[in-house]
Homo-oligomer: A and B are copies of this chain.
Amino acid sequence: MERTEVHDALSDFRRATVVGAGVIGISWTGLFLARGLTVTVTDPRPDVEDAVRAGLDELRPALDALGLPTEGLTDHLRFEADLATAVADADVVQENGPERVEVKRELWATIERAAPDHALFATSTSGIPASEIATALRRPERLVVGHPFNPPHLVPLVEIVPGERTAEETVERARAFYTALGKKPQVLRKEIPGFVANRLQSALFRECVHLVAEGVVTEAELDEIVTSSIGLRWAVAGPFRTFHLGGGPGGLPHFLSHLGSRMEHGWRGLGTPSFDEPTLARLTEQAREAFGARGVAELAAERDRAQIALMRALAEARANEARADA
């Protein structure tokens, strides 16, 4: 970890305020602290300090495994129940409040009144467009969506989604901030419900539910199919590149012109399930069979260890290719 280099890129963002200390807020807090920021957490719940400290203890092994420094992790952690006070000296505000537009509007109106003029404003919302929240702001150009893929301390993606009135400067500052944190920010060109990653996840999951509801496979079998085929592929190359490489020398254009109409025909046969009672009962029962023998936290920790091993292997493979090209 080149601590100095990271600190240089983060020098405009020394003090972060994390608004809302649920799972996402705690994960951001851990990452910000490990990257050397001073973090103020604000949340009205009375047990916020205990919850955050316990949460940080849980994600410490992952931060360690990612190669981030965790000694004295909480030395620069502060708590402040009053929102206005909490953001008064912030360089960046990352908001993780409830997913209700009225609540977010109220939070951001308060934040705007109290925060310094230079502070970057980002909301972790997974579904509410910045345009709708920013109606509560005097300067809507300051707010942008910075939607992490859960959990933010681990998964690289952050979707940056500008609202109609978000300034280009805000977008670029958000991109610089997340990049300096070691994330892989991606700026979307249009606001769309669910943004990109969750829409894709949801599209695939709809067909998963259909196949289990129809009795073609169980949940456990479907998971095995994904991890031994498309999951492996998409960790290395996205869907377009995958089809490009599967199309022979003519690549994706050849693939589309030869197989596009067959694929489009197949789309019509995909499932349109609903979470009715029998489907929910089946999904719930199979989940208990497949995953019930061990606790969620234990399974998640195991998954995260494998995730980090995979990310390291990919980073090394990319570095090898870069060296070979040089």
Contact = CB atoms under 8 A, between A and B. Distances in A.
Interface of A: 23, 149-150, 155-157, 159, 184, 186, 188-190, 192-194, 196-197, 199-208, 211-212, 214-217, 219-241, 243-253, 256-257, 260-261, 263-264, 266-267, 269-270, 272, 274-275, 280, 283-284, 286-288, 290-292, 295-297, 299-300, 302-303, 305-307, 309-314, 316-318, 320-321
A252 B216 contact: no
Contacts of A23: 248
B186 A287 contact: no
30 contacts: A156-B229, A157-B229, A188-B217, A190-B214, A192-B216, A197-B225, A200-B207, A200-B225, A200-B226, A201-B230, A206-B267, A230-B234, A231-B231, A236-B307, A236-B310, A240-B286, A244-B299, A245-B299, A249-B295, A249-B297, A251-B287, A253-B283, A253-B287, A264-B274, A267-B272, A302-B321, A309-B313, A309-B314, A310-B310, A310-B317
A248 B296 contact: yes
A155 B236 CA distance: 12
Nearest to A299: B245
Contacts of A206: 203, 267, 270
A100 to B, nearest CB: 13
B236 A234 contact: no
Given A156-B228, A229-B149, A251-B296, A270 B235 contact: no
B296 A247 contact: yes
Given A214-B192, A226-B200, A274-B264, A232 B186 contact: no
A196 B217 contact: yes
Contacts of A208: 200, 239-240
Contact of A260 (B200, B261, B275): B275
